[in-house]
Amino acid sequence: MYKRLSAILFPVATILLIGALVWGYQENQEKNAILIKAENQYQRAFHDLSFHVDKLHRELGNTLAVHTASTGSHRKGLVNVWRITSEAQNEINQLPLTLLPFNKTEEFLSRISKFSYQTAIRDLTKQPLTDGELKNLKELYKSSAEISKNLQEVQNKVISNRLRWMDVETALASQREPNDNTIIDGFKTVDKKVGEYPELDWGPSVSSMYNKRSVKKLGGAPVTEQKIKTEAARFTGTPDANSFKVVENGRGTEWASFTAQRQGNQGERVTLDYTRNGGYLISYVHDRNIGPKAVGTGKARASAEKFLQEKGYPDLTPVSYDEYDNIGTFTFVSKQDGVLLYPEKLTVRVGLDNGQVTGLQASDYVYERENREQVPKPKLTLQQARKFLNSEFKEKYHRLALIENDMSEKVLTYEFGGSINGSDYKIFINAETGTEETVEEIRSRGQGTRS
């Protein structure tokens, strides 16, 4: 009997063993293929980064080499600087540097990108480069040379020593230093030197982009954790305020805040974020499983508007709509004296399975509302502004809107909605100069949100 049983089980066991070995081999091959692909992508991004930083240095030199009155060459050079810097930023984002302090270099490149773009788009024949801007370009030329040299040193060591980026990623993720940490040390050195560069005068438009919206600028006294529990319970209609757990974030920093959280049934979770000063709600998330779509745009919009009214956000106008993964997202803005205030916006997410609001993002609304400025009067009439539209543009609606332009300036515009070449657009015409400040294509499913 045992012989017969062995005769049956032995071939079966052999087949299973062979199958396991084949499966393990295939899994190992697939894993190695993924690792090789990732390593190749990292190596390509790093070498491209080194190439573009060197190219950035040369392009800055070309821009400085021409006559100070060569506005056409300056514009061309600055556009190239903006393009090259954007490519370098993209390559940094492809490298496993999220756990490595490289933020000074990233911000430095970001400032170069913003500075070159905003300088290039203005009319240099009327506003040529100032002495201060030329001085900036000279400093950037010197700084980019040093960054390029340091990156090329790291690049040479990577090539000569056959260093792997996958080892860097593993070391950073596990908080361990690899045996050869040349790459990590090299990037730390670059970032440290960038942090030591002299501070440049980037101008008000660029600097304003990096002025953090400190909650200390918000009105109201600091609130307590118990106050946050009470507010969270009131907002969500929860009988027991103590069912919320409150955590303070960033104590002593410019962005001190509170997070209130409550665990619900069937894995649901409700999270609310409040500012420490004044206790303003800046974020609400109802995390739950979203079922199949059963609610249309109109009903979802009505649900979002009702929610805002009930929660103390009256007189808001929906200006855009997007839909993803059975969740509809509406953007609302405030209105003052008939003018839409686009910087003062908030977004509402609605589950399209039952029309229930699942999220609110109100940080822009809170900050801008507390720091609202006087809305200027238009210098151009509606008829005068229309003359700056394309003659083939078919207007469907118009309204006044305050927006933030590419120069980070708040400007009053005429917003024209209409169609041209088979697509729908919003065109914002400066109400003082007639300049086309921005153009936005309207997605077909977002048109219903216009009012």
DSSP 172-200: HHHT---S--HHHHHHHHHHHHHHTSPPP
Res 449: pLDDT? 41
Please give the Cα distance from 377 to 284 (Å, whole number).
35
Mean per-residue pLDDT, 391-401: 95
Please give the Cα distance from 425 to 442 (Å, whole number).
5
The DSSP secondary-structure symbol of 308 reads: H
Token readout for 26 is 């295939």
Please give the Cα distance from 404 to 401 (Å, whole number).
10
Say how many residues make up the chain: 451
Least confident of 154-168, 254-268, 350-364: 154-168
Express each pLDDT in 271-307 by its tens digit.
999 988 889 999 999 999 999 999 999 999 999 999 9
Please give the Cα distance from 425 to 396 (Å, whole number).
10
Mean per-residue pLDDT, 313-321: 91
Chain centre to alpha carbon of residue 243? 33
Helix axes 2-65, 165-174, angle to 10 degrees: 100
For residue 260, which amino acid is it? A
Question: Do 189 and 147 contact (CB within 8 A), yes or no?
Answer: no
Res 450: pLDDT? 42
Kind of pairing between the strands at 436-442 and 410-420: unpaired
* pLDDT band at residue 448 using 50, 70 and 90 as cut-offs: very low
Kind of pairing between the strands at 394-404 and 357-361: unpaired
Mean per-residue pLDDT, 265-274: 88
Res 199: pLDDT? 65
Express each pLDDT in 212-230 by its tens digit.
454 555 667 889 999 999 9
Express each pLDDT in 28-66 by its tens digit.
565 666 667 777 887 888 888 889 889 988 888 888 888
Q: Residue 306: which of 233, 361, 355 has the closest Cα?
A: 355
Token readout for 228 is 């946050």
Least confident of 72-81, 139-148, 180-189: 180-189
Mean per-residue pLDDT, 124-141: 84
Q: What percent of the chain has pLDDT over 70?
A: 78
For residue 410, give every residue at least 6 positions away whose Cβ sits within 8 Å of its Cβ, in sequence order, or none: 343, 373, 402, 403, 404
Residue identified by tokens 């409040």 is 274
Please give the Cα distance from 52 to 54 (Å, whole number).
5
The fold adopted by the segment(s) 382-449 is: Nuclear Transport Factor 2; Chain: A, (3.10.450)
Q: What backbone phi and psi angles, to 5 degrees, belong to 425?
A: -140, 155
For residue 321, give the 3-state DSSP assignment.
Answer: strand
Please give the Cα distance from 120 to 133 (Å, whole number).
12
Task: Give the CA distances from residue 115 to residues 106, 136, 408, in Å, rounded to whole numbers and listed in that order.
Answer: 14, 10, 12
Least confident of 104-108, 116-120, 326-330: 104-108
CA angle 230, 232, 234 (to 5 degrees): 70
Is 210's pLDDT higher than 50?
Answer: no
Is 314's pLDDT higher than 80?
Answer: yes
For residue 430, give the 3-state DSSP assignment.
Answer: strand
Please give the Cα distance from 382 to 398 (Å, whole number).
9
Domain boundaries, the chain: 9-208, 217-370, 382-449
Express each pLDDT in 170-199 by its tens digit.
665 555 544 446 777 777 777 777 776 666
Least confident of 115-124, 343-352, 438-447: 438-447
Please give the Cα distance from 448 to 110 (Å, whole number).
36
Is 443's pLDDT higher than 80?
Answer: no
Is 141's pLDDT higher than 50?
Answer: yes
Token readout for 364 is 């822009």
Res 370: pLDDT? 79
Mean pLDDT of the chain: 81
Q: Residue 429: which of 397, 392, 401, 396 has the closest Cα?
A: 401
Mean per-residue pLDDT, 142-160: 84
Element (H, E) at 389: none
More confident residue, 159 or 404: 404
* pLDDT band at residue 139 using 50, 70 and 90 as cut-offs: confident
For residue 316, give the 3-state DSSP assignment.
Answer: coil
CB hemisphere CA count around 112 (13 angstroms): 31
Q: Using the Cα atoms of residue 418, residue 420, residue 422 and residue 426 in order, give the sign of their dihedral.
A: negative
* pTM (two decimals): 0.64
Question: Do 100 and 187 contact (CB within 8 A), yes or no?
Answer: yes
Q: What backbone phi and psi angles, to 5 degrees, belong to 115?
A: -60, -50
The number of helix segments (H) and strand segments (E) in the chain equals 11, 12
Is 14's pLDDT higher than 80?
Answer: no
Token readout for 78 is 């600055």
Least confident of 190-194, 216-220, 325-329, 420-424: 216-220
Rg (CA), the chain: 28
Please give the Cα distance from 317 to 343 (Å, whole number).
13
Is 344's pLDDT higher than 70?
Answer: yes
